[in-house]
Amino acid sequence: MEKKIHETMCHGPMNAEDDIFLKQIKALRIDHVYRNELSKHRDVMLRAADLDEERIQELSSRDEKAKQLKETEADEKRREKERIVEARIAEEKRRQEERIAEEKRREEERLAAEEARRAEEERRETLRRLRADIERCRREAEERAERYRKAMEEEARKEAIRQAELRKAREAAQAAMQKKNDDAIIQQFILYDAKWAELKSDVPHHSIMAAQLPWPILVNNTPVHAITYNLVQEFVFHPLRPGLDGKTRRDKVKMEMLRYHPDKFNSRILDKVLDSERGLVVELGGSVARILTQMMAEEVESEK
């Protein structure tokens, strides 16, 4: 048994627990030998002291019991040793399984680490390529944006030139139109003053219509009976009216009031108007006189 245990333990490295186990086995073996020798000496001495039959039978019976007891103890010790050996074998098997499991775990960890390393390298390579693609796309986008910006600048420059030319042409046309309009307005003022000059002359007239008289309005095709405050004000203070440089607003109103004063206007104008329109002329002259009187009052009030 001891040899079998020793051979079992020799299959692997021995530790402190293994040494203790061997010492226990040796102690059991020594105790067993000692007990056997002691029993033998005691039996010899007893037999020498008493050799009668009854004693011999008694000793024989006791020896038989002792033998059976020893065999029982031997069986128990043998089973105990076998249990210890089996436990030691099971422990060794467990340790071996643990070593195998540990080696497997380490191998799995190594493989996992290797796989993780490869995955990390692939991730970094993918990231590098992605960054390179992004950088390339960014450069291409910047180049496209630059080309587009230059094209838009060129288009804007051409459009600015075209708009400037259009603006110049439009301004020239507007200036020409404005000059034409201004000339037309100036001609109306000249005609207005010319009509008054003719009315003040001694040239005889007996068939002048109301619409042919000089009324202080600029709107063409406006019926003479539609004379309003705003139309008269525009006419009297118009900046294009010639011959009034240096005159104040009050002077301009006064000049017109002298022309349309009811007594002077009626005595000077009515004899030259058609009989059928004299009533209308008196009404229009009075309306203009009232408007001019209102304008003068406003100018006097504004000068206070």
- Residue 77, token pair as written in the block: 């010790």
pLDDT at 13: 61
Amino acid at 175: A
Closest CA to 213 of 294, 293, 268: 268
pLDDT, one tens digit per residue, over 2-11 is 555 555 555 5
pLDDT at 193: 94
Flag residues of the chain having pLDDT under 70. Answer: 1-15, 17-18, 21-22, 25, 27-34, 38, 41-52, 220-222
182: Cβ contacts below 8 Å, ≥ 6 apart: 240
- 264 in Cβ contact with 196 (< 8 Å): no
Query: Which residue is it, tokens 């007891």?
Result: 69
pLDDT, one tens digit per residue, over 238-291 is 999 998 888 999 999 999 999 999 999 999 899 899 999 999 999 999 999 999
Give the N- to C-terminal CA distance of the chain in Å, as an integer: 146
Give phi and psi for 102, each to the nearest 5: -65, -45
- Residue 285, token pair as written in the block: 């002259």
- 287 in Cβ contact with 219 (< 8 Å): no
pLDDT at 190: 95
pLDDT at 255: 96
Give phi and psi for 189, each to the nearest 5: -65, -45
Separation of alpha carbons 33 and 27, rounded Å: 10
pTM here is: 0.48
Amino acid at 39: S
